[in-house]
């Protein structure tokens, strides 16, 4: 039996990443970590991990589950810790030095990974155990780990010839470097542009909260007046409310040209190269396309299933979306819009129409969604469902002063998880919102190592005159990411490889998207949604209107998501390298669901980080796929009560706690009693 420990992997007493973490809950010692610590730590941890791998591969004893599969799962723990710290910080608090470190470390990590996958002795042992799997009397989780381990070798080139393996090494290394460069370019383009406004008339139509945030952004740049940026809160609000059409167009064009300008941050060649390299890798492994390779390990299982799914949704939503676009055009024409509606007009006039039709302005919900109160409300929701309690711990080191850390306790008082929360935009942070972790949950030697989960968002910052007040959409985003966090925090598995969100890509969004359903439940909103100045609860009429407008232009929103999914599938379904112009390729992919005319000089692929620098290649459809799951699953909560503990416990035991330890469809059926259908989503969206 091989014993692998989490001891320090170097005698370097000055590098905090190489020593046991002497911090509360053994959390990352951010107060001690400096840029210069990362590369030496990676190198030392890689060397330790190599020794651990070699000791497994070179054993003389007959391979079995424990000495080979389980031991391999435990190997490299120190490297996993260092990687979790570095890559998370590089997305949430980066700078040029961190980005250069990422480029320096990338080939080291790629070579290390390939050295494992192409280790013939190691794969021989894994293969021997795999071939005996029917006679090993393994638990479902052990079976899943064995299958996942074997596939990690087989699906990454372990059976290739020596020459082919070298080709795979080159492809893997280049893909890793290109993905990093793609993300760096998007971040540079997002941070590098802003609209400096000195005439307050140019801010006509903007809510006070947006103007205050713009003034704060200007002060941060030592400028007079106001600054509109391409970060989410600023960009979205400006496109929705700014009266000056020429300025909306200017901001929109800056956003839509990210990565597609003639400068050092152009991503056109990079994304085409990434798509072609992924195809080359798939061919080496015996698959016609990257999509065929990826989708083999999903609930959908094939590109045909995905394309049929996208077409079914398009057939249901596209006719309605065209009607929605027509009515917005008519509304714009009747209200001073002289020209054909353009992409920079949609949000503006759609919002005006929504206000006119429902007498509802989403900005009026902001005072009821004070960030601190929303946090309390979400905590309260998890307490009602599962009995969770939270304690803020200010002694735990953080990577930025804005980050808060909470200890999370289960209903029986046992420690469940740590939860880091990082809410506000800054130049060193990537856009969007995501959940991640600094340590996954796992069990070893009778001890349950609890996870250290993190939520990262880009919400409206507090200003000199008001606290952070969320829009309803931001509130929904918070619930979404908290659903991911619950998936990580409630994990109860043995092996970290199967922990929390380590599930099929088209299943991972179920826990996040199901939590969004509570956003329109008055019974939940009454717990916390109170005006930050008066303390008055959100009026019942406002809650009613939120529900009424939730499906306002649902078809348009669906078609927009479908266009992204079709674009993703196009780039990753190629069976021959892309040689045509990237903009033309994108237009051909998205044409079936295109609602507006094409705008020259713009592309969405050049900033499509989800698929070119994230993990969603041939998987973006998963957001809509998971909506089918969550719509069907939430019906059970609606039938039994939105705070029903029995339903919540079943969801925990059958979905959240299981991670990737069993096939997701099996888990879903255990919870729901049947496989999902698209009907619940169409009904919820008003498209049926």
Question: Which helix (H) or strand (E) segment is 625 a member of?
Answer: helix 622-640
**Cα separation, 469 vs 371, whole angstroms:** 6
**Cα separation, 310 vs 628, whole angstroms:** 12
Longest Cα–Cα distance of the chain, Å, equals: 82
SS3 call for 613: coil
**Is 249 designated active site?**
no
**Cα separation, 354 vs 344, whole angstroms:** 17
Contact criterion met (CB below 8 Å) for 482 and 374? no
Contact criterion met (CB below 8 Å) for 293 and 287? yes
Identify the DSSP state of 361.
-
**Cα separation, 540 vs 525, whole angstroms:** 10
Which tokens sit at 167? 């080709």
Contact criterion met (CB below 8 Å) for 631 and 512? no
Pairing mode, strands 404-409 and 389-392: antiparallel
Identify the DSSP state of 63.
P
Which tokens sit at 152? 């990690």
Token look-up 């280790």 returns 119
What's the Cα-to-Cα distance from 147 to each of 125, 132, 154, 184, 660, rounded to whole Å?
Answer: 14, 12, 10, 35, 12
Per 3-state DSSP, what percentage of the chain is helix, strand, and coil (rounded to 5)? 60, 5, 35
SS3 call for 194: strand
Contact criterion met (CB below 8 Å) for 506 and 298? yes
**Cα separation, 542 vs 88, whole angstroms:** 38
SS3 call for 8: coil
**Cα separation, 486 vs 437, whole angstroms:** 12
**Cα separation, 624 vs 621, whole angstroms:** 6
Contact criterion met (CB below 8 Å) for 208 and 533? no
The strand ranges marked E within 118-166 are none
**Cα separation, 43 vs 607, whole angstroms:** 32
Question: Which helix (H) or strand (E) segment is 379 a member of?
Answer: helix 371-386
**Cα separation, 295 vs 26, whole angstroms:** 37
**Cα separation, 445 vs 206, whole angstroms:** 58
Contact criterion met (CB below 8 Å) for 550 and 521? no
Contacts made by residues 668-676, CB under 8 angstroms, sequence distance 24+: 668/507, 668/510, 668/629, 668/633, 671/633, 671/636, 672/632, 672/633, 672/636, 676/628, 676/629, 676/632, 676/633
DSSP one-letter string for 201-218: GGGTT--HHHHHHHHHHH
Contact criterion met (CB below 8 Å) for 258 and 605? no
DSSP one-letter string for 17-45: GGS---SGGG---TTT--HHHHHHHHHHH
Half-sphere exposure of 443 (CA within 13 A, CB side): 9
Active-site pick, 351, 474, 481, 516: 481
DSSP one-letter string for 64-80: -IIIIIIHHHHTTHHHH
List the catalytic residues: 481
């Amino acid at each position: 039996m091989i014993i692998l420990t989490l001891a320090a992997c170097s005698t370097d007493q000055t590098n905090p990443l190489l020593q046991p973490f002497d911090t509360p809950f053994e959390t990352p010692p951010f107060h001690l970590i400096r840029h210069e610590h990362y590369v030496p730590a990676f190198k030392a941890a890689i060397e330790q991990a190599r020794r651990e791998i070699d000791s497994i591969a070179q054993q003389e004893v007959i391979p079995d589950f424990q000495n080979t599969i389980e031991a391999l799962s435990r190997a490299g723990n120190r490297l996993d810790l260092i990687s979790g710290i570095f890559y998370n910080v590089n997305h949430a608090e980066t700078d040029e030095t961190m980005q250069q470190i990422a480029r320096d470390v990338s080939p080291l990590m790629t070579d290390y990974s390939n050295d494992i996958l192409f280790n013939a002795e190691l794969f021989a042992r894994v293969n021997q155990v795999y071939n005996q799997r029917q006679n090993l009397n393994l638990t479902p989780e052990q079976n899943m780990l064995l299958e996942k381990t074997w596939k990690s070798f087989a699906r990454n080139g372990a059976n290739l010839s020596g020459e082919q393996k070298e080709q795979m090494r080159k492809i893997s290394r280049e893909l890793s470097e290109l993905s990093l460069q793609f993300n760096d370019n998007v971040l540079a383009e997002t941070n590098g542009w802003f609209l400096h406004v000195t005439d307050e008339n140019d801010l006509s139509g903007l809510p006070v909260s947006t103007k205050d945030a713009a003034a704060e952004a200007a002060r941060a740049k030592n400028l007079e007046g106001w600054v509109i940026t391409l970060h989410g809160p600023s960009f979205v609000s400006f496109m929705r409310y700014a009266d000056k059409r020429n300025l909306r167009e200017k901001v929109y064009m800056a956003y839509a040209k990210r990565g597609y300008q003639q400068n050092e941050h152009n991503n056109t060649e990079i994304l085409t190269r990434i798509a072609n390299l992924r195809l080359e890798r798939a061919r080496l492994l015996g698959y016609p396309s990257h999509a065929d390779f990826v989708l083999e390990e999903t609930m959908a299982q094939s590109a045909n299933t995905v394309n049929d799914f996208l077409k079914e949704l398009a057939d249901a939503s596209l006719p309605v979306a065209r009607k929605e676009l027509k009515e917005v055009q008519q509304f714009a024409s009747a209200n001073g819009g002289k020209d054909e509606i353009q992409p920079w007009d949609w949000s503006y006039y759609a919002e005006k129409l929504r206000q006119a039709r429902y007498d509802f302005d989403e900005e009026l919900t902001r005072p009821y969604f004070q960030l601190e109160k929303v946090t309390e409300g979400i905590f309260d929701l998890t307490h009602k469902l599962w009995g969770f309690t939270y304690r803020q711990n200010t002694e735990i080191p953080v990577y930025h002063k804005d980050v808060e850390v909470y200890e999370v306790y289960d209903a029986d008082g046992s420690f469940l998880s740590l939860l880091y929360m990082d809410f506000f935009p800054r130049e060193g942070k990537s856009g969007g919102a995501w959940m991640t972790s600094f340590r996954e949950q796992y069990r070893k030697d009778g001890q349950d190592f609890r996870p250290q989960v993190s939520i990262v968002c880009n919400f409206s910052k507090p200003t000199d005159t008001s606290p952070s007040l969320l829009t309803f959409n931001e509130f929904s985003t918070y619930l979404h990411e908290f659903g991911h966090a619950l998936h990580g925090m409630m994990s109860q598995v043995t092996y970290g490889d199967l922990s929390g969100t380590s599930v099929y890509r088209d299943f991972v969004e179920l826990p996040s998207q199901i939590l969004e359903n509570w956003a329109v439940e008055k019974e939940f909103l009454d717990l916390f949604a109170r005006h930050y100045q008066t303390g008055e609860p959100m009026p019942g009429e406002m809650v009613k209107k939120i529900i009424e407008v939730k499906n306002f232009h649902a078809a348009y929103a669906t078609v927009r998501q479908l266009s992204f999914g079709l674009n993703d599938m196009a780039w990753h379904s190629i069976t021959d390298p892309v040689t045509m112009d990237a903009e033309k390729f994108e237009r051909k992919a998205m044409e079936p669901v295109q609602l507006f005319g094409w705008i020259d000089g713009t592309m969405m692929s050049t900033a499509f980080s989800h698929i070119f620098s994230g993990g969603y290649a041939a998987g973006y459809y998963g957001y809509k796929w998971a909506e089918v799951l969550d719509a069907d699953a939430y019906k059970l909560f609606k039938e039994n009560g939105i705070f029903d503990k029995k339903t919540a416990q079943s969801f925990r035991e059958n979905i959240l706690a299981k991670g990737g330890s069993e096939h997701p469809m099996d888990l879903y059926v255990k919870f729901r009693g049947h496989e999902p259908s698209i009907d619940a989503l169409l009904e919820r969206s008003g498209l049926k």
